[in-house]
């Protein structure tokens, strides 16, 4: 059985408007893990099409997410950066896992309920089975650790249930390791700048709700200046944060961007006006995000180089995936291996 000690896999959808939540919740954590783990970072284009994507924009957004990984510090030579659709074993394993996962398990997924909205009949079937494809993404490489934002916790738990059921059904104890989520830092759930009760998201119709990775310095500063606040001064202790989602969000962002504990940041701004925090937050956000955005632009201006990186990553990903997939086929009882 192929097995490695610690392998990381994570993915980001190329659905445009890559934002500060994607960066702080996921991409930034990808970078540090390269020191201790073998890492595969995937632009999950097959996930993106669960909601219709313009084909030309999908290709451009795929390059943009790959550029974001690299600009943030992912090393595509020593680790693997690829787009999911170039490794067909993802789809193949997802089908097997569609037959392992139970309807009842998928019916509990809150993200489907949120994304499908009221008119569930009109949602794509792909959106419903998306968590099975995500389980396939991880298990195809027997990944042991998955860095994600807080919103993906439930899908990770499902991936563990699916792995366990596959191992039981096919009498293959420990064939698939049960993947561990890595949800770390003070910004695992970055909230909208317009509404502290809603997650910062790519699909929010308001551009002011998010800072995108390609925003110019003055846009970053403007969006932070316009961020929603409440009428009170900033809290003195963490006990005051519940019920003050906008204060919690802005303080959490400052903590994440300055690599400090939230408690230290609360102490630093205790009793101050929001404007004081906003001014310093804008400064640090520009300092951290604008150079990544500029590097993303430089990389996406040369699409041939990004395409070559993705093709090379896909070839190396296939080399890991195929022997594992071959063993899945054999265990399931498919002839022709």
For residues 59 and 172, which CB has a smaller minimum distance to ligand AQP in the complex? Answer: 59
Count of residues touching ligand AQP (by CB under 6 A):
19
22 touches ligand AQP by CB under 6 A: yes
For residues 100 and 182, which CB has a smaller minimum distance to ligand AQP in the complex? Answer: 182
* Per-residue contact flags (x/-) with ligand AQP for residues 111 to 150, judged by CB under 6 A: -------------------------------------xx-
Which one, of 187, 153, 157, lies nearest residue 25 by Cα?
187
CB 282 within 8 A of CB 218: no
74 touches ligand AQP by CB under 6 A: no
Distance, CA of 221 to CA of 54 (rounded, Å): 31
151 touches ligand AQP by CB under 6 A: yes
The one catalytic residue in 142, 199, 278, 288 is 199
User: Interface with ligand AQP by CB under 6 A: which range of 83-91, 183-191, 286-294, 319-327?
Assistant: 183-191
Q: Which of residues 43-62 bind ligand AQP (CB under 6 A)?
A: none
257 touches ligand AQP by CB under 6 A: no
Active site residue 199: yes
Least Cβ distance, residue 116 to ligand AQP (angstroms) = 12
Residue carrying the six token digits 């006990």? 239
For residues 26 and 67, which CB has a smaller minimum distance to ligand AQP in the complex? Answer: 26
- Greatest pairwise CA separation for the chain in angstroms: 69
For residues 74 and 328, which CB has a smaller minimum distance to ligand AQP in the complex? Answer: 74
199 touches ligand AQP by CB under 6 A: yes
12 touches ligand AQP by CB under 6 A: yes
Backbone torsions φ then ψ of 16, nearest 5 degrees: 80, 165
The one catalytic residue in 153, 165, 202, 228 is 202
Tell me the residue length of the chain. Answer: 337
- In a 13 Å sphere around the CA of 185, the CA atoms on its Cβ side amount to 30
Residue closest to ligand AQP when measured from CB atoms: 25
Binding-site member from 200, 256, 281, 282 for ligand AQP (CB under 6 A):
200
Binding-site member from 201, 209, 214, 249 for ligand AQP (CB under 6 A):
201
Least Cβ distance, residue 15 to ligand AQP (angstroms) = 6
Least Cβ distance, residue 23 to ligand AQP (angstroms) = 8
For residues 26 and 277, which CB has a smaller minimum distance to ligand AQP in the complex? Answer: 26
For residues 53 and 167, which CB has a smaller minimum distance to ligand AQP in the complex? Answer: 53
310 touches ligand AQP by CB under 6 A: no
Least Cβ distance, residue 321 to ligand AQP (angstroms) = 20
Q: Is the dihedral of CA 198, 128, 188, 216 positive or negative?
A: negative
Active site residue 202: yes
Binding-site member from 189, 222, 318, 331 for ligand AQP (CB under 6 A):
189
Active-site residue numbers? 115, 199, 202
Residues of this chain that bind ligand AQP (CB under 6 A): 12-13, 15, 21-22, 25-26, 148-149, 151-152, 188-190, 199-203
């Amino acid at each position: 059985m192929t097995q490695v000690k610690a392998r990381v896999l994570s993915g980001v959808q190329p659905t445009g408007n890559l934002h500060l939540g994607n960066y702080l919740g996921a991409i930034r954590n990808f970078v540090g893990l390269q020191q201790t783990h073998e890492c595969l970072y995937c632009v999950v284009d097959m996930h993106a099409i669960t909601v219709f994507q313009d084909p030309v924009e999908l290709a451009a957004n795929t390059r943009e997410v790959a550029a974001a990984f690299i600009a943030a510090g992912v090393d595509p030579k020593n680790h693997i950066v690829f787009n999911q659709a170039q490794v067909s074993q993802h789809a193949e394993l997802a089908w097997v896992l569609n037959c392992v996962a139970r309807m009842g398990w998928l019916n509990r997924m809150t993200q489907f309920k949120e994304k499908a909205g009221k008119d569930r009949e009109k949602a794509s079937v792909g959106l419903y089975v998306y968590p099975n494809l995500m389980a396939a993404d991880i298990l195809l490489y027997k990944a042991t650790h998955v860095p994600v934002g807080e919103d993906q916790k439930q899908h990770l738990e499902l991936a563990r249930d699916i792995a366990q059921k596959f191992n039981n059904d096919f009498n293959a104890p420990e064939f698939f390791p049960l993947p561990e989520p890595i949800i770390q830092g003070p910004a695992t759930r970055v909230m909208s700048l317009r509404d502290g009760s809603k997650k910062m998201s790519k699909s929010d119709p308001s551009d002011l709700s998010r800072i995108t990775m390609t925003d110019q310095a003055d846009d970053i500063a403007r969006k932070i200046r316009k961020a929603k606040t409440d009428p009170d001064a900033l809290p003195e202790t963490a006990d005051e944060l519940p019920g003050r989602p906008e204060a919690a969000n802005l303080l959490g962002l400052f903590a994440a961007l300055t690599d400090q504990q939230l408690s230290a940041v609360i102490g630093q701004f205790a009793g101050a006006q929001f404007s004081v925090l906003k001014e310093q937050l804008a400064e640090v956000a520009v300092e951290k995000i604008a150079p990544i955005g500029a590097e993303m632009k430089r990389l996406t201006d040369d699409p041939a180089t990004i395409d070559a990186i993705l093709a090379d990553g896909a070839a190396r990903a296939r080399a890991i995936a195929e022997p594992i997939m071959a063993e899945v086929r054999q265990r399931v009882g498919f002839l022709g291996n």
